[in-house]
Amino acid sequence: MKKIIILLCFITFGAFSQSQSGTINYTFIAKGTTLKSTLLFNKNESIYAVLINKKGKGVDVKADEENSNEEEGDLKLKIEINPHVNMPDALGLLTDLNNNIIIDHKYFTKGISGKEYDTLFVKDKAKNIAWELHEETKKINAFTCQKAIGQFRGRTYTVWFTYEIPVSAGPWKLNGLPGLILEASESKKQFYFFADKIALSTNENTIEKEKFLHQNYSTPIEEREKMIASMESIGEEITAKMKSALPRGVTSTSTRKANDKIIADKDQLEINFDDISTKK
């Protein structure tokens, strides 16, 4: 009887350890902010979605005490913008390995009210990263993982993938290895992904990709341009409202220089687009 029980347990574990379908919950740390994300996958397709923080105010204006000098009448303000407060949930990022495409669905707010949005479908190639495999291994959630290093859009990533889940998928646009990526870290420690929960299935997940298809697609470069334009518009709207609310006789100046970037490269996952064309 003992032998039968042990054999059945071994077969069950073996079936799940070679599963090609399931759901992964990742912790995603971006520039010090911790977010939760999920990856729904089967052998050739996946959808990755970040759970957006919608708490707090859309626009929060605070006194910048560190850089202000009240004695000289120099008051500086710090403006924090969270355009996601009233934003609907996007579909996520679809990866289709059979057709070598990634389609990322996003919303961009049209103003500080956060009630009007532009929708964007960003199309990219799926197989973009040339990975360098290393012999080093470690355990993540009971899975033996191997180390790999690759460069993508101006950043270098160290990832840990497992052959025990033979699916060429991972968080965000990180894919192309002979096993699922369970951990990924960017060399400058700006971005980090870690699999908190792994739920495998013996049944193949159905990836609902119809809403991603037959859209008016943008390139990643066009996405960046539209994001900058959106943030510029919000900044101008805030400046205009603040000036109109000032008491008579009080003036304001902006410390932002004309050549300053409203979106810093260090804050973006993708900072170099030499691998793609500006054309669709």
211 in a structural domain: yes
5 in a structural domain: no
Under 8 Å between Cβ of 112 and 238 = yes
Per-residue pLDDT, 49: 96
Under 8 Å between Cβ of 147 and 158 = yes
75 in a structural domain: yes
Number of CB atoms found within 10 A of residue 173's CB: 21
Per-residue pLDDT, 237: 74
Q: What's the CA gap between 252 and 95, in Å, rounded?
A: 48
Per-residue pLDDT, 46: 97
Domain count, the chain: 1
Nearest in space to 217 (alpha carbons), one of 125, 88, 98: 125
Which residues, listed in sequence order, are joined to residue 48 by a DSSP beta bridge?
39, 93
Per-residue pLDDT, 252: 58
54 in a structural domain: yes
110 in a structural domain: yes
Per-residue pLDDT, 280: 45
Mean pLDDT per block of 10 residues along the chain (280 residues) reads 40 53 96 92 96 64 64 62 71 96 90 76 94 97 96 96 96 97 95 96 91 95 85 75 64 50 68 72
167 in a structural domain: no
Structural domain of 42? 20-129+194-248
Tell me whether residue 29 is exposed, middle or buried, using C-beta atoms within 10 angstroms of its C-beta: 0 to 12, 13 to 18, 19 or more: middle
272 in a structural domain: no
Q: What is the pLDDT of residues 117-175, one digit of tens each?
A: 889 999 999 988 999 999 999 999 999 999 999 999 999 999 999 999 999 999 999 99
122 in a structural domain: yes
In terms of C-beta distances under 8 Å and separation of at least 24 residues, what long-range contacts does 72-77 make, across chains too? 76/255, 77/242
- The pTM score is 0.78
